Chain A
């Protein structure tokens, strides 16, 4: 399969995800797995979806990506954190030569990380989260299709926005059902 075919396949599979078959976390997991499997040079990925009070749902492809997402959160430093602040895309490549994120870069480099990229997820004009892509091989993201990654993030944003909207409805239904169950069906005789 050519890289172009892989790109098209990844986008096609993205647009075939049903948001009502699983909670938002499951959809986020599908998206992040697709990112790793269909975006060239991407070895691991993480997604964070925002709710009203900050990051709600998180999903990662593997433990290294989980550790790197967590590291950025804990240090409050790194391209992911920056993307969530300004809604812009941020690349860190190579990790060693970058001074924008002095707290995150050294420990990230020690894990073997060569490059990473944070893509903001924006749907209907609203920042709804971030997609983090990680690369460990020496080649990093050299030669990768940055435009396609942007397209993937755009499509993922729309999908996750729909999934979040649906998920919020399900949460409200559960809340209303619980309230209804807690009170008697009719006034006692």
Chain B
């Protein structure tokens, strides 16, 4: 686990596009899930 955490910054640097897309998709899903939760309440 600690090894994985040490490697993480370099992995992120190497895959900027993939990381960006992952973050955008996470934000997108977060928005619609939170929006749905607030709307239904």
| A and B assemble together | no
- B residues within 8 Å of A by Cβ? none
